[in-house]
Amino acid sequence: MIAQPLILHVAIATPLRRLFDYLPNDATILNTLKPGLRVSVSFGRRKDVTGVVVSISNQSDCPKNKLKKINHVIDDHLLFSQKHLNLLKWASNYYHYPIGEVVFSALPLTLRKNNSITKYEEKNWRLTEKGIAFEATLIKRAPKQSQLLNYLQQRKSPANEAEIDTIYSRSKPSLLSLEEKGLITRSTENDPDSVIKINPSPFKLNKDQKSATNEILNSIDNASIFLLDGLTGSGKTEVYMTAMESVITAGKQCLILLPEIGLTPQQIQRFKDRFEVNIAIQHSGLSDTERTQHWLAAKSGKAKIIIGTRSAVWTELANPGLYIIDEEHDLSYKQQDGFRYSARDMLITRASRDKVPVILGSATPSLETLYNVKKERYKHLILSTRAANAKPPKYRLLDIRGKKMHGPISQSLVDEIAKHLNNKNQVLLFLNRRGYAVHLFCHSCGWKAECTRCELPYTYHKNINRLVCHHCGVTKRHIEQCPDCNEPLLLMGHGTERIEEVLTTLFPQATISRIDRDTTRKKNAMHDYLEKIQSGEIDIMIGTQMLAKGHHFPNVTLTGIVDADRGLFSTDFRASERLAQLFMQVSGRTGRGTKEGTVIVQTYNPEHPLFEQLIKHGYNYFCKSLLQDRKHSLLPPYSYMVFLRAEAHNANDAKRFINDATMQLNQLTNNKLLLFGPIPALIEKRSGRYRYQLIIQSQNRKSMHAQLDNWLEKLEKSKLSKKVRWSLDVDPQDMA
């Protein structure tokens, strides 16, 4: 039989939406070629570009004599299984994002270039369970494999690759074949693979935890989706760990996604204390080498637990048994630029393709998730009590209209802070705005200090005595006099620095810490703050969003929400949902120990229905009415959305691009889709570019998506597309 020439369809990290065809080079051993290998190819003018073989066939759209040969195969084993490549292809289709970029974003940085993976790999080999029992003579067609298996069986302990090679020269391909057959596996000296030690939980699960765990364990073999709905501190993590226990005991792996701020050393330590197994971590704090090693450990099956932030959703697992995503509503799971995927949605897709159960945990589930519960696609598990018997906090709406203020803090809040400090408790004040003041302006002529690139006010940072644009990062010398009329300038609007200043004057004895992005830039800063809070060293902490989530502060009895009104009147249809989530998260910091907590909410709009519904009836009730609103206006989750985002130095270019695109899409779809645009983005100008959007909406996801590829092809060819920076955002999460 004469084989047809093989054609390799290769993914390359480029914005072009396609695979590239190559022929094998002469040195390639054809039957070792498989999808999932990296190859070096020449691409355009570059001679040595890394690619990943995505599929192999005998067909090419190019004439065969035009096809180039690859330079060489980089790895001697597969970086992705066919199954994982299929997942990446699915994602590329769904997000309409170039396949090359998708495949490469699933690789650790080190492997996106063509350095070999051997230096990150384990150099020892040992038998698997299957390999121990396997009759070596049964491998008839490959005598070398049979010999090697026999050798390892005689030897009984792992053998070093170099050592094997001195006995059986050029043994690597045979070893890899044995690995592929599942007979041998890579191993380290003290192979943690074989030691699985699980320590018992220090607690007896409460009633809710027990029934949630039972529900999960009863359907651990079906690909069920669970919403584990419980207040912060209700013991969700204990439920995860109990479920993980049975998955790991069965020899399978668990993948856990945490929000960016949630992946703290303490959280990782909790898993390490409970599970003495190989744990792979995937987040930006690791060195590239470590990340690569952990990535390989997940892929080989050696790591039993994989913990990571958003991008960890792309890590391949050899033997997945359970997927978990904590704080599923968190915005950090949606990538906001480039490949704009949602890690939550991808994890759920992955779970159904892999037939693995998935747990979504949250105190404030997203409306999408609550909707899926309502449709009975997800099972709703509720933890209704706080685990350690702590009581839910008491709320007090504080109407600050016309009240005596110290900067942003009302006299009543000051009195309350004093009371809690006297009782030797801690206080947390929340304001989601860094810096000292938000506006610098002239009272006599109206001049404002604005970033010219964004046309938005500068924030004054007193600590560095500079003006900072929070949208593009530009900083500028602070000025005290109006450049137009020389009058002294006024500072308006408060940030966390201002609260710190006010409280330092009012409570000179107290230890006060401001915890925001400015004070936590150094590597261990956040960690040090958290320790000081735990040990009681800090009396008052002033924080932004980063302090609002996930942390456990048993001695905080008072939480003050300094400016609850932000977000009440936004035009983003998700604003109320986000505000409610933040509100609940912030309040969740209070009274998590044995002491009762109070939440004080400062507002100029005490009669706003959002507060009444949230405080009187709770988050779930509030969401029911939000869902009703969305249903009436046919907004997600009652419809599907895609944004076309465009930005350009010239506002007209961006608008025209959107207008042309709208016309083309209407033509393609016979006006079947709902299109709105050009709509200015919430931040209409950023870094010197004007930003507009086209909102594409439909109740039929499939037929909407089916039209987009043709449309994109047209857009890419248009002249304006070169002048405008544009991108597609599928299932967008914000209008900024």
* Residues near Zn ion (CB under 5 A): 442, 445, 447, 451, 453-454, 469, 471-472, 474, 482, 484-485, 487
For residue 657, give both structure tokens: 């691009």
Closest CA to 137 of 129, 149, 152: 149
Closer to ligand ADP by Cβ: residue 131 or 230: 230
471 binds, among ligand ADP, Zn ion, none (CB under 5 to 8 A by kind): Zn ion
**Residue number, 343 or 469, with CB nearest to Zn ion:** 469
| The entry of Zn ion, ligand ADP, none that residue 663 binds, CB within 5 to 8 Å by partner kind | none
Indicate the helix (H) or strand (E) that contains 168.
Answer: none
The residues that touch ligand ADP, with contacts defined as CB under 6 A, are 203-206, 209, 230, 232-238, 387-388, 552
Find the shortest distance in angstroms from Cβ 256 to ligand ADP.
12
Q: Which residues pair with 191 in a beta bridge?
A: none
- Report how far residue 417's alpha carbon sits from residue 488's, in angstroms, rounded to the nearest whole number: 34
Q: b/e per residue, 238-271, with b = 16+ CB within 10 A?
A: bbbbbbbbbbbeeebbbbbbbbebbbeeebbeeb
Which C-beta is closer to ligand ADP: that of 235 or that of 259?
235
Q: Which does 237 bind (CB under 5 to 8 A by kind): Zn ion, ligand ADP, none?
A: ligand ADP
Partner that binds at residue 484, options ligand ADP, Zn ion, none, CB closer than 5 to 8 Å by kind: Zn ion
Min dist. Cβ of residue 356 to Zn ion (A): 44
Residue closer to ligand ADP by CB (options 267, 698) is 267
**Nearest distance from residue 231's CB to ligand ADP, in Å?**
7
- Closer CB to ligand ADP, residue 165 or residue 531? 531
Tokens of 722: 């070169």
Q: Is 591 in a helix, a strand, or coil?
A: coil
The two tokens of residue 694 are 């086209």
Per partner kind, with CB cut-offs from 5 to 8 A, the member of ligand ADP, Zn ion, none near residue 453 is Zn ion
Q: Distance between CA atoms of 712 and 652, rounded to whole angstroms?
A: 21
For residue 126, list its beta bridge partners.
Answer: 185
Residue 201 in 3-state DSSP? coil
Are 697 and 641 contacting, i.e. CB atoms less than 8 angstroms apart? yes
523 vs 149, 310, 517, 519, 526, CA distance in Å?
Answer: 48, 20, 12, 11, 8
Type and span of the H or E element at 730: strand 725-730
SS3 percent helix, strand, coil of the chain, rounded to 5, is: 35, 25, 40
For residue 469, the SS3 value is: coil
Nearer of residues 206 and 432 to ligand ADP, judged by Cβ: 206
Cβ of residue 727: shortest distance to ligand ADP, in angstroms? 35
CB of residue 583 to ligand ADP, shortest distance in Å? 17
205 binds, among ligand ADP, Zn ion, none (CB under 5 to 8 A by kind): ligand ADP
> Which of 251, 265 has the CB closer to ligand ADP?
265
Partner from ligand ADP, Zn ion, none contacting 230, C-beta within 5 to 8 A by type = ligand ADP
Nearer to Zn ion, 250 or 445 (CB): 445
Closest approach of ligand ADP to the CB of residue 206, in Å: 5
CB of 383 to ligand ADP, least distance (A): 7
Other CB atoms within 10 Å distance of the CB of residue 484: 11
Q: Which does 388 bind (CB under 5 to 8 A by kind): ligand ADP, Zn ion, none?
A: ligand ADP
Minimum distance from CB of 363 to ligand ADP (Å)?
7
Residue with tokens 């170099």: 162
Q: Is residue 438 within 8 Å of residue 493, measured between CB atoms?
A: yes
Nearest-approach distance from CB 584 to ligand ADP, in angstroms: 13
CB nearer ligand ADP, residue 232 or residue 278: 232
Q: Are 325 and 87 in contact (CB under 8 A)?
A: no
Q: How far is the CB of 490 from Zn ion (least distance, A)?
A: 10
Closer residue to ligand ADP in complex, CB, 232/598: 232
Helix (H) or strand (E) holding 421: helix 411-422
CA distance 616 to 627: 18
Which of 388/668 has CB closer to ligand ADP? 388
Whole-number minimum distance, CB 230 to ligand ADP, in Å? 5
Beta strands in 351-393 (DSSP E): 358-362, 379-383
Q: What is the DSSP pairing of strand 197-198 with strand 437-441? A: unpaired
For residues 467 and 476, give the distance between their C-alpha atoms in angstroms, rounded to a whole number.
5
Question: What torsion, rounded to 10 degrees, do the Cα atoms 84, 86, 92, 94 define?
Answer: -110
**From the CB of 646, what's the least distance to ligand ADP, in Å?**
41
| Closer Cβ to ligand ADP, 393 or 435, answer by number | 393
In whole angstroms, what is the distance from residue 92 CA to residue 696 CA?
19
